[in-house]
A and B are shown apart, each in its own frame.
Chain A
Amino acid sequence: MYRHYHYILPLLLSLVLLSCETIAPDQQLITLEPTILERCVLLTEFSGIGCVNCPTAQQLADDLADDCDGRLIVVQMHPAANSFTFSADPLYDYTTADADVYYSHFNGTATTPFPTGVVDFMKDGNAYFIDYTTWATAIHRRLNQEPTLSLDLTPSSEGDSYMLTAQAVNHATDALDFRLLYWLVEDSIEGRQLMPDGKVSTDYMHRHIFRGALNGQWGSQQSAFGKGSLTDIVDVSRYCYTGRHYSVVAVALSSDMSEVIAVAQTDLPKESQVQDEPFVLNVNGIGAIGNDTTIVVTAHHTDPITGKEEMEVRGSIIAEHIYVDTERSAADFDDQLCIGTCVNGNGETTQLFDFNVAGYSSWFAHYYPRDMQPAVITYRFYNNARSLSLTVKYQPED
């Protein structure tokens, strides 16, 4: 062995030098020929307000979407099943039951590291979830695949109604059947988020937040059709003119749920066509109320079930995270039955957060007075941007 060391050492040194490949700075990136992007791709991003790297991933998704010039649609889901997602705080709860269904479909667990994402509902290798640093690769692969179906969403409105017409065109030679899903997505939500520096931002802008599946988690099965087109209409009136950045994403999912065949997105009108948009609706069936102080007179009546005298008011609001405080000037109550509008003392503040996909919350109050004296209760509905006072006078029936 000792006689051969003068061969062994140079051989070893050669092996060392050859087994190290240093890439010069000007050779680290390879520019490819641009290809014509034929299809739209869906990136389902999974995120959480407690996830420190998720803002970086959201920015990356936005950059990729800008790069793709409308051919990449991003939807961000917050599944309650993951430890990075906090659902205990209703003010910043972006979780939905629908998101958990999709998360479970992708085999997500409490320990799946975030941020992560799925491209076109497809597996990448053995798993659905793709690390955010490699989203671009999976998206590029899909963008350059010939689409078999194209999907468009066209809005139309008539009076108060706002409809979307989804038109699917089959480009394949074989008949195609698929499931059509409509997702409600909300953009530009200011809220809490743990940032990469470890600090919590309270005015972070959340993008593309998934708010729910409008026609069921797995949509509606569309019949197989050959060359030609298929249309479907969905009514989205209740999500329009809400002051919120809503959009609808239509997803054509293969019937075996293994692949997104086509995807389209359209924004819904945000701003009200009427100045001073109503903030509180339908108080006791009266209709929209403006921003000024309004007095409503309502009478005591006898509850047919309990036989008790009661005063009743009910209504709905069309914005999330509304607070209400109450102030009463007269009357004592034996009992109260209410959501958020109970009167237990002056200046009581309660948050109404019975939010659902429909985008509005209901509130009600039944008061059972000790005597038949008139009562005046002032409700102040408010959030960071607006407030509305509503004064209700209760008085005995004549």
Chain B
Amino acid sequence: MRRVLVILIACYTSVAIMASDGISFFGSLQHDGLFAMTDEAIGTESYSFPYLSNTYLNLSLTSKWVNAGLRLETMQAPLPGFEAGFKGSGIGNLYVQGNWGWGKLTIGDVYSQFGSGLILRLYEERSMGIDNSLRGARLELTPYKGIHIEAIGGKQRVYWNCYDHTAWNLDFTKGAVVGADAEVDIDEWSERMQQAGVTLNIGASWVSKYQPQDTVFYSLTPPVMYNLPRWVGSADARFSIGYQGFKLLAEYAWKANDPSVDNLFSYKHGEALLLSASYSRRGMSLLLQAKRSQNMSFRSDRMSRGIAAHINHLPPFTQTHTYHLADLNAYATQLQGEWAFQGELWYTWKKRTAMGGRYGTTLRLQGAHIRGTTPQSWVSMTKEAYYTDVNLELQKRIAGKWYLNAMYMYQTFNAPVIEGSGELCRSHILVADVKYVTSDKVEMRAELQYLYSKQDEGQWIYALYELSLFNDLMLSVSDMYNIGGTDLSSKLHYYMAAVTYQKGAHRLMASFGRTRAGYNCTGGVCRYVPAQKGVNLSYNFNF
């Protein structure tokens, strides 16, 4: 704690001194808390602290040549549902970055992504408790126009392992991740291509992780242990080509033998192939994507489970839904292998046309279908689907001050595969979202959602009413009710009332109500959140 205070005072003093030299200082504070209450009906857990919270303070300064930043985090009594290692306090991120014309060198905690992230994606996602940065260095070079080269290396952050060793997690004999990436934008070398609206990009990456041998036994009699590789390498190649509104992307990633708890200590290599085609023009866009991944879990710690220690990220190919009931069963990328297909079509009919009406109409059709891979052949898939999602959404301004969003969605969710328990669930979901803008200062919005299913907990209904006043204040009340529960104990109301106030750089939200137990998913990564009841507080300040 004393170390933190010294750093803060040093930062403040430095800023005060350098403020006159064109140096910018900014930051943000985020605090999310919960006064947890017990509610046996929904199955809340008991906590040793009455108030649970996660707090982040970001401080950054930028100048012509040097940038620096740090992030202080405290979650001594974290919000429910985070993994055990998430609890702790200290400096979660610290870096210094030097810039010079064609290069940039960052020392400290670094983030990066190579291509689509199939072999490296280092990022922070606070809602999931993810921060898999490397503590080391990152070098970015642009030696010539259209050429981007990057090299990165360090020890991965796994929660608070930066405090595990006296060397502030710089002991690379305990493990390290290194990598390099090169991308070439060929169109930047050709004026003809640029004039024709053609883009052509090729890229290649390499990432390798080092981890000392672990003693892992295969059998006890006779005692046989695994010969685990200390270095595991991976490579990625990609190209994309675009012409006016069309774009094609292909990316292939390969990973060497990487026996771990994720793949039950298999020595098979991993691979992933991603294909994407899109077309967009004014008023329309089309996207088609396919992905096959097999044994592509890539962690800096072969013994890790859960959401920690991932080096790469496999995109889920499913849409993240913002409507409650549509997001009730969210998909988590299956690390052992999957075939995923996704398509999306947006079309906007102009105003004053037959389909567009007076104000125009936008229709969106989206679908996703995911199956597992099987060993029969490279193209074979499991008979059962893991996940299917087809939804049709209509966005329309139906009258002067009235706006409508309506959606129908059909979903199949293979819970035993995705969550490890439950049953195959088929649902039909209807959503009506109506907004009424009375004036510049007052807006009202109401949502009504209905989910029909014969499996799991049956039918659900959700209603929300939201009132925005003077651009600063928002009030909302909502309720989610399980009308299909087979016994009284499952017919529960999950009510919530919230007030949000925003003024300048400050945003304060307070709410009271119940939250159902379930999975919170972002980008194909999910964490289980237990049932909660209580008063939620959230404060954000940007300066």
Q: Interface residue count for B (Cβ, 8 Å)?
A: 55
Contact at A111–B528, with CB atoms within 8 Å?
A: yes
Contact at A21–B226, with CB atoms within 8 Å?
A: no
* Cβ contacts under 8 Å, B81 to chain A: 111
* Cβ contacts under 8 Å, A134 to chain B: 216, 261, 303
* Cβ contacts under 8 Å, B455 to chain A: none
Contacts A34-B223, A83-B517; A22 near B256 (Cβ below 8 A):
yes
* Cβ contacts under 8 Å, B261 to chain A: 131, 133-134
CB distance from B347 to the nearest CB of A (A): 37
Q: B472: CB under 8 A from chain A?
A: no
Q: A28: CB under 8 A from chain B?
A: yes
Q: B257: CB under 8 A from chain A?
A: yes
Chain A proximity mask over B153-165: 1 for CB below 8 Å, otherwise 0 = 0000000000000
Name which of B216, B223, B230, B306 has the most chain A CB atoms within 10 A of its CB. Answer: B223
Contact at B220–A143, with CB atoms within 8 Å?
A: yes
Q: B227: CB under 8 A from chain A?
A: yes
* Cβ contacts under 8 Å, A198 to chain B: 384, 414, 416-417, 423-424
Cβ-closest chain B residue relative to A136: B217
Q: B101: CB under 8 A from chain A?
A: no
Q: How far is the CA of A143 from the CA of B217 in the complex (A)?
A: 13
Q: B323: CB under 8 A from chain A?
A: no
Contact at B256–A35, with CB atoms within 8 Å?
A: no
Q: B305: CB under 8 A from chain A?
A: yes
Q: How far is the CA of A139 from the CA of B219 in the complex (A)?
A: 10
Q: A53: CB under 8 A from chain B?
A: yes
Contact at B220–A67, with CB atoms within 8 Å?
A: yes
Q: How far is the CA of A27 from the CA of B180 in the complex (A)?
A: 30
Q: B403: CB under 8 A from chain A?
A: no
Contacts A28-B267, A131-B305; A68 near B229 (Cβ below 8 A):
no
Contacts A84-B420, A134-B303; A29 near B225 (Cβ below 8 A):
yes
* Cβ contacts under 8 Å, B232 to chain A: 20-21
Q: A185: CB under 8 A from chain B?
A: no
Stretch from A44-52, A218-226, A258-266, A337-345 forming part of the interface with B: A44-52
User: Which B residues from 192 to 250 make CB contacts under 8 A with A?
Assistant: 206, 208, 210, 214-233, 235
CB distance from B300 to the nearest CB of A (A): 14
Chain A proximity mask over B80-120: 1 for CB below 8 Å, otherwise 0 = 01001100000000000000000000000000000000000
* Cβ contacts under 8 Å, B422 to chain A: 50, 194
Contact at A51–B208, with CB atoms within 8 Å?
A: no
Q: A385: CB under 8 A from chain B?
A: no
Q: B134: CB under 8 A from chain A?
A: no
Partner of B220, one of A19, A68, A107: A68
Q: How far is the CA of A83 from the CA of B420 in the complex (A)?
A: 11
Cβ-closest chain B residue relative to A84: B421
Chain B proximity mask over A4-33: 1 for CB below 8 Å, otherwise 0 = 000000001001101111110101111111
Q: How far is the CA of A72 from the CA of B218 in the complex (A)?
A: 16
Q: How far is the CA of A83 from the CA of B232 in the complex (A)?
A: 35
Q: A173: CB under 8 A from chain B?
A: no
Chain A proximity mask over B127-153: 1 for CB below 8 Å, otherwise 0 = 000000000000000010000000000
Partner of B227, one of A27, A33, A50: A27
Q: How far is the CA of A21 from the CA of B81 in the complex (A)?
A: 37
Q: How far is the CA of A333 from the CA of B283 in the complex (A)?
A: 78
Q: B314: CB under 8 A from chain A?
A: no
Q: How far is the CA of A47 from the CA of B421 in the complex (A)?
A: 12
* Cβ contacts under 8 Å, B223 to chain A: 31-35, 140
* Cβ contacts under 8 Å, B259 to chain A: 28
Contact at A64–B424, with CB atoms within 8 Å?
A: no
Contact at A25–B267, with CB atoms within 8 Å?
A: yes
Contact at A29–B227, with CB atoms within 8 Å?
A: yes
Name which of B85, B225, B235, B261 has the most chain A CB atoms within 10 A of its CB. Answer: B225
Contact at A30–B225, with CB atoms within 8 Å?
A: yes
Q: How far is the CA of A136 from the CA of B230 in the complex (A)?
A: 21
CB distance from A137 to the nearest CB of B (A): 5
Q: How far is the CA of A248 from the CA of B220 in the complex (A)?
A: 25
Contact at B217–A137, with CB atoms within 8 Å?
A: yes
Q: Interface residue count for A (Cβ, 8 Å)?
A: 55
Contact at B45–A23, with CB atoms within 8 Å?
A: no
Partner of B306, one of A29, A34, A113: A113
* Cβ contacts under 8 Å, A107 to chain B: 84
Q: How far is the CA of A19 from the CA of B222 in the complex (A)?
A: 32
Contact at A20–B233, with CB atoms within 8 Å?
A: yes
Contact at A83–B143, with CB atoms within 8 Å?
A: no
Q: How far is the CA of A15 from the CA of B423 in the complex (A)?
A: 48
Q: A110: CB under 8 A from chain B?
A: yes
CB distance from A73 to the nearest CB of B (A): 14
* Cβ contacts under 8 Å, B218 to chain A: 29, 136
CB distance from B491 to the nearest CB of A (A): 14
Contact at B224–A32, with CB atoms within 8 Å?
A: yes
Partner of B226, one of A16, A29, A48, A64: A29
* Cβ contacts under 8 Å, B306 to chain A: 113
Contact at B233–A19, with CB atoms within 8 Å?
A: yes
Contacts A111-B530, A113-B305, A137-B216; A23 near B221 (Cβ below 8 A):
no
Chain B proximity mask over A311-340: 1 for CB below 8 Å, otherwise 0 = 000000000000000000000000000000
Q: A114: CB under 8 A from chain B?
A: yes
Q: A1: CB under 8 A from chain B?
A: yes
User: Which A residues from 129 to 149 make CB contacts under 8 A with B?
Assistant: 131, 133-134, 136-137, 139-140, 143
CB distance from A304 to the nearest CB of B (A): 38
Name which of B224, B228, B421 has the most chain A CB atoms within 10 A of its CB. Answer: B421
CB distance from B134 to the nearest CB of A (A): 15
Q: How far is the CA of A1 from the CA of B102 in the complex (A)?
A: 12
Q: How far is the CA of A199 from the CA of B256 in the complex (A)?
A: 33
Contact at B45–A109, with CB atoms within 8 Å?
A: yes
Q: B265: CB under 8 A from chain A?
A: yes
Q: How far is the CA of A134 from the CA of B222 in the complex (A)?
A: 16
CB distance from B24 to the nearest CB of A (A): 31
Contact at A23–B257, with CB atoms within 8 Å?
A: yes
Q: B330: CB under 8 A from chain A?
A: no
Chain A residues near B (Cβ < 8 Å):
1-2, 12, 15-16, 18-23, 25, 27-35, 48, 50-53, 63-64, 67-69, 72, 83-84, 107, 109-111, 113-114, 126-127, 131, 133-134, 136-137, 139-140, 143, 194, 197-200
Known contacts A20-B208, A64-B220; 12 additional CB pairs below 8 A are A12-B180, A19-B178, A51-B421, A52-B420, A52-B421, A83-B517, A84-B420, A127-B84, A131-B303, A136-B219, A139-B217, A139-B220
Residue contacts A-B, CB under 8 angstroms, 11 given? A15-B178, A19-B233, A20-B208, A30-B224, A32-B224, A107-B84, A113-B306, A113-B420, A131-B305, A133-B216, A139-B217
Across the A-B interface, the 10 shortest Cβ-Cβ residue pairs = A20-B233, A198-B416, A19-B208, A136-B217, A50-B421, A21-B229, A67-B221, A67-B220, A21-B231, A32-B223
